[in-house]
Amino acid sequence: MHEFCHHLNRMLADRLKNAGIVTWYDPRCQFMGYVSELIGADLPADCALQEVSLGRSSTQLCVVQDSFLEVRDAIQPVVTGELPGPLLIYIPNKEQYDDKGNLMELEAGGNRWEPQLERIARAVLKRRFSEEEIVNVLGAPGLNYTDIVRALAN
């Protein structure tokens, strides 16, 4: 595991430890590479629970596909206690919950997370790169998780 993945794992594990449920919005799909890495494959085609490892801890992950209603069905075993929590709901491409507020109660009882890739990456990049190099990396158009991983590998 590389240092950026490790850093994100710690951040998520801490949030999940404190809140139990994290609703993670990624409107620009910048973290899709990280979520794929967690799963160990491409993002799933359907909304289903998958257990993923965040270093020393694990969580149930649900990746939103088309509808928040399918999320509610998929996560029932966790929120009703049939499966142990914590629960991470990853929402790429959607800036906020839908009009019906299908995830509002989960957000109220858990933690809504809208991380800024550039800010998180800067914390890791500054350990190895000069400010000028960091500005060059973070200034790339369409910056995403994979770009940061690639920069750290060089």
Q: Is 30 part of a structural domain of the chain?
A: yes
Look at the chain and report how many structural domains it folds into.
Answer: 1
Q: Is 49 part of a structural domain of the chain?
A: yes
Q: Is 64 part of a structural domain of the chain?
A: yes
pLDDT digits (tens, 9 = 90+) for 45-79: 888 899 999 988 899 999 988 777 788 888 887 87
Q: Which of 49-58, 102-111, 113-122 has the highest mean pLDDT?
A: 113-122
Question: Does the model's pTM come out above 0.95?
Answer: no
Identify each DSSP E strand in the chain by its residue range.
21-26, 49-54, 57-63, 87-92, 111-113
Domain containing 9 equals 3-115
- Tokens 């890791």 locate to 124
Q: Is 53 part of a structural domain of the chain?
A: yes
pLDDT for the residue numbered 118: 97
65 within 8 A of 46, measured Cβ to Cβ? yes
Q: Is 61 part of a structural domain of the chain?
A: yes
Q: Is 111 part of a structural domain of the chain?
A: yes
78 within 8 A of 87, measured Cβ to Cβ? yes
